[in-house]
Chains A and B, each alone.
Chain A
Amino acid sequence: MVNFSYISFVLIIPLVVFLITGLFGKKVPALSGMLGTVGMLAAACLSYFAAYEYFIVAGRTDGVFPAVIAFKHTWLQFSPVLSIDIGILLDPISVMMLVVVTTVSLMVHLYSMGYMHGEERYATYYAFLSLFSFSMLGLVVSTNIFQMYMFWELVGVSSFLLVGFYYSKPSAVAAAKKAFIVTRFADLGFLAGILLLSFYSESLDFQTIIQRMMPALPAGGDHDGSIFLNANTASFMGVSALTWALCLIFIGGAGKSAMFPLHVWLPDAMEGPTPVSALIHAATMVVAGVFLVARLFPVYSQIPAALDVVTYIGAFSALFAAVIACTQTDIKRVLAYSTMSQIGYMMFALGVSGYWGEKGLGFSASMFHLFTHAMFKALLFLGAGAVIHYVHSNEMKDMGGLRKKMPLTNAVFLIACLAISGVPPFSGFFSKEEILTAAFEHNKIIYAVGLATACLTAFYMFRLYLSIFWNKEYKEHGHTEHHDEAPITMKLPLVILAIATLITGFIPFSAYVSADGRAVASEFHLIPAVIAVSAGLIGIFTAIFFYARKNNKPEMISVAFGNVYRSAYRKFYVDELYLFVTKKVIFNFISAPAAWIDKNVVDGAMNLIAAVTENFSDSIKTVQSGKISNYVMWFFAAAILLSMMIVYAF
């Protein structure tokens, strides 16, 4: 048995760094960046070591990787059976997430030293980054669904702080608010789901919930499945309580993971600094929803209805976001919609997965895609950050022909684009191919959607790449001439992530991470792979046809598809719909009457009481005249009255 108690330090280090840089960072800003980076380096090394020990040294017990509780503290004990614990749970997915989060966070810390250089609130920025890293690490190692909920909210807060980092920009403030409110609204569903699930399972502990929410095992376990039956037969509006609980929890996950229709905050969140978008809105926080479903996957896999919800919402979001991404001109927004699309991929991969053995391919594929996507999407964002740093603009029209100015960025961006398009041998190919295979075996419609999305993904990624680096000759703006492509602190993370993108695809992922913990041999299917790659290649060549040289073909297409193009460009009016629902419907029919009642009925009653008291006091206040003789008169009159009462009445 390997001792994993050192894992606590992976969480403690960012927390301590947050406190130090947050409290004292302003005095020595440069040092706070160094401290944050070194701290994250230590945390990353610890998690690599933990992954090595967990997967290689400790290895399997009875054919599965055992879940290890590295640390556990009972925090709030409500009753002998129900408590909120703070703990660290290590199992294949949480160890994998530790590696992902610390790696991307380290890269972003390093990159920010160059990108945020000279920023006024440099130390604050690093403090927020550390806070985020701490929260995200806490989220992934949670032993307890309530602990996860707390870190879930902490992650939301740090996202809010970082999106609104440029708080003097009204659009950034609005985006931060939007991100917070939308995810908070979704978390309402999460909380309701937690309460419902824990009400039936009588526990908040993940392992206990999972164990109790399984039907009686065919092999015969230590429980009879009665709790599962109870939760599954108790019904509300024709749907079982367990299905409700899982769907509500999925709403929380969909909010954080920007699934349709709760995705509206993600594109706006690009107002934050670009490294933040790489860390939070591409690689780590937005996959929290996927992680949540994966964490409760044994329960989800028992309820096909809940899994279908996950599948269809995931698949629809993937296609929907891909269509929008084809029309956007802000390079970060293209990447944001691409992130949403790829997360949709992970979601429907979970949805089409089964639990046992070979059927669990979707689960491993989803986790694999999460892993590879974190690397190449962080790379894309950091590359886009380098471009924005150089051009001082987010708009595609200000770019083009940058390949000669920024050769390194060009190379790594191309690698990442090939990876996300699913071209072998880059990492995205392997994970995407697995997802499509899993979808093919389960549901042909989902497979078709996935294939269409893959084609669109390749198209819009190469539209992005070509618009930035090819298309036309780059025209110098006066202020960009003096500086180099990027400082070394920005180049190094790009190179490291590019190497990760090249090699992570070759990890035999399904041997380590699978639904039931047993190794799944990942077979290589030639036909689906060829189909998937050709879909990607079609997208790439279409993009090359349109965007390699400056021409008027894109305009012609956009004119030909007039209405479709316009509505996709306006993001299918989802924002407008939200505004209509909130501003017109909710405001006029709920908020305005509520405000009227508050102002007139509630406040009116209070004002009435106050007015009555005031008038009455006003009328008797002259009694307190300040004249002693008056008081004496009253005193004597009362004394005489009282003595007469005593004498004659008694």
Chain B
Amino acid sequence: MSEMKFILAISFALFFIGAYGFLTRRNMITMLMAVELMLNAVNINFVVFNKYLFAGKLDGLFFAVFIITIAAAEAAVAIAIIINLYRKFKSIDEDDIDTLRW
């Protein structure tokens, strides 16, 4: 079980690295990458729990596969949004893009 804890510690670290990156970075592409890190941390959790706790089942693996698919789609959408924002604001710095407010 210590092996599992070790891997969970990695995913924990990975998730908060992603969260930290998402909060601190201002560049949208970097923020997108940080989101991908968080998604992958979650993926690791699914796989680990499936392997060590429910060895006879495959549900966790399937979830991981779905998340990878959705992450790909999400990346496509996010990049499309970023391109449009760039065309409008000539910038991909999120501080410049604050017109949607009171």
Contacts and interface: CB of A to CB of B under 8 A. Distances in A.
A237 B93 CA distance: 84
B95 A633 contact: no
A632 interface: yes
B23 A632 contact: yes
B94 A629 contact: yes
Interface string B70-102: 000000000000000000000000110111111
A636 B19 CA distance: 9
Contacts of A632: 22-23
A626 B101 contact: yes
A626 B94 CA distance: 10
Interface in A603-628: 621-622, 624-628
A627 B99 CA distance: 9
B101 A625 contact: yes
Could you say which of B26, B97, B99, B102 has the most chain A C-beta atoms within 10 Å of its C-beta? B102
Contacts of B97: 626, 628
Nearest to B98: A626
**Residues of A contacting B: mostly:** helix
A628 B101 CA distance: 11
Given A627-B95, A628-B94, A633 B23 contact: yes
Nearest to A626: B101
Contacts of A621: 102
Contacts of B31: 628
Interface residues of A, number: 11
Nearest to B100: A626
Contacts of A627: 94-95, 98, 101
A383 to B, nearest CB: 75
Nearest to A640: B19
A636 B16 CA distance: 11
Interface residues of B, number: 13
Contacts, number: 27
Nearest to B26: A629
Interface string B22-39: 110010000100000000
A482 B97 CA distance: 83
Contact of B102 (A624, A628, A629, A633): A624
A622 B19 CA distance: 24
Nearest to B99: A626
A197 to B, nearest CB: 62
A624 B101 contact: yes
Contacts of B22: 632
Contacts of A622: 102
Interface string A77-103: 000000000000000000000000000
B23 to A, nearest CB: 6
- B94, B100, B101 — which one has the most chain A CB atoms within 10 A of its CB? B101
Contact of A629 (B19, B23, B99): B23
A147 B102 CA distance: 58
Nearest to A636: B19
Contacts of B101: 624-627
B94 A636 contact: no
Contacts of B23: 629, 632-633, 636
Most buried by A among B23, B26, B99: B23
A636 B94 CA distance: 18
Nearest to B19: A636
A633 B22 CA distance: 10
Nearest to B24: A629
Contacts of A628: 31, 94, 97
Contacts of A626: 97-101
B87 to A, nearest CB: 18
Contacts of B94: 627-629
Interface in A146-198: none
A293 to B, nearest CB: 69
Nearest to B31: A628
B39 to A, nearest CB: 15
A625 to B, nearest CB: 5
Nearest to B95: A627
B38 to A, nearest CB: 11
Contacts of B19: 636
A622 B100 CA distance: 12
A511 B97 CA distance: 96
A296 to B, nearest CB: 68
A636 B95 CA distance: 19
A371 B94 CA distance: 90
Interface string B44-62: 0000000000000000000
A626 B100 CA distance: 5
A625 B101 CA distance: 5
A538 B96 CA distance: 102
A329 B59 CA distance: 106
Contacts of A633: 23
A355 B101 CA distance: 83
B32 to A, nearest CB: 12
5 contacts: A625-B98, A628-B94, A628-B97, A629-B26, A629-B95
Interface of A: 621-622, 624-629, 632-633, 636
Interface of B: 19, 22-23, 26, 31, 94-95, 97-102
* A-B interface, 3 closest residue pairs, ranked by CB to CB distance from nearest: A626-B101, A626-B98, A621-B102
Given A621-B102, A625-B101, A636-B19, 9 more contacts: A624-B102, A625-B98, A626-B98, A626-B100, A627-B94, A628-B31, A628-B94, A629-B26, A636-B23
